[in-house]
Structure 1
Amino acid sequence: MRILYLLAGFALFLKMLFTSSTIAEIEELSIMETIIQDSGVTNSVSGVIFRNRLYDTIFEVVVFTIAIVGAGFLLSNETPTQIVYQFTDQPSVVLARLGATIAALVAIELAIRGHLSPGGGFAAGVAGGTAIALVAITSPWEMLEDIYQKWHVAIIEKVSVLVFILLALFTLIGWELPYGQLGSLASGGIIPFLNILVALKVCLGSWAVILLFIRYRGLL
């Protein structure tokens, strides 16, 4: 059988090597330009994520939500740790908080302008989660917990998911906002709002997971 497999592989190699590939003659058409025209945003990646494959993006957001709920469920029966490992030396604290500030500003920029330039909701959420993580390893975790409870972050996270799904469903059935002028901040119809909602969801979900791992593992 090995000989047959080798012969079949060698024959396939010869076919690829000596068979000329024919390219169908089609009209000149840029896929990128088509996506930009269909979505109304200059960032074609955002156009694909929030329009061409929006159905997939809905379930990506749902899967992320389930992962957060699952982390809380798996750790709920464990005893909270008494020791939390953090940076205490001043240079590390200053650098971490500086990095948190930069990451937070990047997150806001990517969330607001993700439909115009490289980036988008998922990248913005990751940047925001990174900012929170950098604060967590240099500050008392009780402070983050108090802020999380005071501002009802868990409720905001769940509401952002529901609003995202509703807006996505409206888009899928054909209800869209005016695209506006291509390249402007108010362009792309519903896509900028979906971008911001995804950024909010990923950032706040990361916050919840960070608190869980600090509480039950003592470190990130």
Structure 2
Amino acid sequence: MRWVWTTVLIVFGIVLIAYGSFEKVSVDFKDLVVENPITQIYLLNRVYDTVFEVLIFSLAVLGVSLHMAYLPAPGEIKSISDVSIRIFTRFIAFFLLVGSLYLAIEGHVSPGGGFSAGVAGGTALALIAMVEEFESFERKFEKAHVHSLEKMIMVVFLFFVLLIFPGRNLIVPANVIVYLKVMLGSWIVVYYFIKHRGLL
């Protein structure tokens, strides 16, 4: 199944390069979506930037999954046991998750958005993984069906890209979809690294 997704990503990238329009975009500064003209130019070209970011990130997640699956797991996986550090880390992770969701929803008004929000959300999950017992972290990972969910979100994202290319303004839902995709992909990477390399 992983090879099917690899093929889909590569074919989509080739089609995008072959048929994508990379011409200069004329900007009408009379009707700005945002006040900053540089951000306005960035928004008009964001879809291309985001598509390539997501494709490269998806290939990276797939590569980590394929490579780590063949590595032996350590006998014991230690987590940080100091109570004060565990409490403080969970506190910080909560605010990172809330901030990442805000960035995904409001990131279109300034440079930022789905990808950076997903990285912030993935960082929050990595912090939680550092202070939680691995068995509990693994149960949550499997219960959430993260692998299947990440692939489903990728399909939804590709569908949204087809809607955005003709010029529809779907920045906010696209940002949220990219946010979920990157956050779940980060969760997969963190899970495999801890499972096969340990934490400390």
Q: State if a TM-score over 0.5 links the two structures.
A: yes
Gaps of 5+ in 2: 1-25
The one-letter code sitting in structure 2 at the alignment partner of 1:156 is L
Q: Letter of the aligned partner of 1:114 in structure 2?
A: G
Q: Provide the secondary structure at the position in 2 that maps to 1:115.
A: helix
4+ aligned runs moved over 4 Å, structure 1: 41-50
Q: Return the offset for 1:36.
A: 7.0
Assess if the C-alpha contact under 8 Å between 2:27 and 2:41 holds in 1.
no
Q: Which residue of structure 2 lines up, in the alignment, with residue 34 of structure 1?
A: 29
CA contact (8 A) 1:65 1:205 kept: yes
- Contact 1:104/1:131 (CA < 8 Å) preserved in 2? yes
Indicate the structure with greater helix content.
2
Q: Which moved more, 1:89-98 or 1:117-126?
A: 117-126
Number of residue-to-residue matches in the alignment: 175
Q: Relative to structure 1, is the Cα distance of residues 214 and 193 closer, same or farther in structure 2, using a 3 angstrom cutoff?
A: same
Deviation at 1:41, TM superposition (A): 4.8
Task: Determine which structure has more spread, i.e. the larger CA radius of gyration.
Answer: 1
Identity rate of aligned residues, in percent? 37
Instruction: Indicate how the Cα distance of structure 1 residues 209 and 49 shifts in structure 2: closer, same or farther if over 3 A, else same.
Output: farther
1:193 equivalent to 2:192? Answer: no
Structure 1: distance between partners of 2:154 and 2:30: 26
Partner of 2:125: 132
The alpha-carbon distance between structure 1 residues 162 and 48, as it changes in their structure 2 partners (threshold 3 A), is farther
Q: Is the 8 A contact 1:48 1:54 kept in 2?
A: no
Q: Deviations over 1:84-110 (max 9, x none)?
A: 232101111111111111111111111
Partner residue in 1 for 2:159: 166
Q: Tell me whether 1:146 sits opposite 2:139 in the alignment.
A: yes
TM-score by length of 1: 0.71
Provide closer, same or farther for how the CA distance between residues 150 and 45 of structure 1 changes in structure 2, counting only shifts above 3 A. farther
Alignment correspondent of 1:205: 185
Contact 2:103 2:117 in 1 (8 A): yes
Q: Is residue 150 of structure 2 the alignment partner of residue 157 of structure 1? A: yes
Listed as ranges, the gaps of 5+ residues in structure 1 are 1-30, 177-188
- Which amino acid in the other structure matches residue 133 of structure 1? A
Q: Which amino acid aligns with 2:138?
A: E
Deviation readout 1:59-85 (Å, 9 max, x if unpaired): 220110010010111111111112223
Tell me the residue number matched to 2:50: 57
The answer (yes or no) to whether the contact 1:87–1:137 under 8 Å persists in 2 is yes
Q: How far apart, in 1, do the equivalents of 2:100 and 2:121 lie?
A: 5
1:87 maps to 2:67: no
User: How far apart in 2 are the matches of 1:107 and 1:35?
Assistant: 31
SS across alignment from 1:34: coil
Partners of 2:50 and 2:115 within 8 A in 1: no
Q: Structure 2: how far apart are the matches of 1:135 and 1:44? A: 39
